A = this chain, B = another copy of it.
Amino acid sequence: MIDPNGYLPRYYQLANILREGIAEGKFAALQPIPSERELEKIYRVSRPTIRQAIELLIRQGYLYREHGRGTYVSPQKLQKGISELTSFTEDMKQRGLVPGQKILEIGYVRPSDKIRSRLELPETCDQVLRIERLRLGDGIPMGLQTSYYILPEDQTITREELEEYGSTYKMLQEKFHLIPTEADETLEVALATPPEADLLQIEPGSPLLLSERTTYSQYRRVIEFVKILYRGDRYRYFAKLTR
């Protein structure tokens, strides 16, 4: 069941086994899974390893513990949609829509004070890459996205690459070895200006959901600042909160 010399660490293998068991209904919602001492005998791994696997599944929302009682399976509603950092592309896929994009503009600009502070720009740098895109879901306009990146001119992004990769996050990872790992996001409402309404194919003055996000790399440096104006009638934001 668990390969001690496997490619994946043992606690990770065990977590996968348990997660599958939950998905298959082998362990039912609100019912306890075997105790840590029992799992020790079943899977032939030590208790710390088992606890590590369980802690992973708790963080992912699949299990929860009750001291003195046992470890239980979360109800389905709590098993999905943890507030995860996703790109627009991944977001659309999760919603069951085919992601698409239409690049409107791409080029270097002088950053405004707001952009400067959001990108935590050093004084020396006075050029940032700006990309404006119309984002589609199943071919229908979903939002208007404006992204800013700090990139030297010899390491830049071309329109062709952007179209080829589809997902910007995938490109950042493969081309620059920058992995988005954390982000701060704010959401508020806005009203569509005539040019925005035209691009989004809605009436001017229609309500929009405005998202502003600063994304950080694995080194805790700012990667990008992204502003997205979502169509209010087609987009809903999900969050999972814990305490």
Q: Which residues of A contact B (CB under 8 A)?
A: 30, 48, 64, 66, 72, 74-75, 77-78, 81, 83-86, 120, 179-191, 207-209, 213-214, 216, 218-220, 232, 235-243
Contacts and interface: CB of A to CB of B under 8 A. Distances in A.
A224 to B, nearest CB: 13
Please state the number of chain copies in the assembly.
2
Contacts of A209: 187-189
B240 A64 contact: no
A239 B66 CA distance: 28
Residue among A75, A209, A238, A243 having the largest count of chain B Cβ atoms under 10 Å: A243
A33 to B, nearest CB: 14
A197 to B, nearest CB: 14
A220 B30 contact: yes
Given A72-B220, A241-B84, A207 B183 contact: no
A80 B188 CA distance: 19
Contacts of A78: 182, 184, 216, 220
Which 8 pairs across A and B sit closest by C-beta, in order of nearness? A189-B232, A85-B241, A187-B237, A189-B207, A85-B243, A207-B207, A183-B241, A185-B239
A86 B242 CA distance: 9
Residue among A181, A185, A187, A209 having the largest count of chain B Cβ atoms under 10 Å: A187
Given A75-B220, A220-B75, A237 B182 contact: no
A182 to B, nearest CB: 5
Contact of A184 (B30, B179, B235, B240): B240
Contacts of A182: 78, 240-243
A67 to B, nearest CB: 11
A188 B188 CA distance: 9
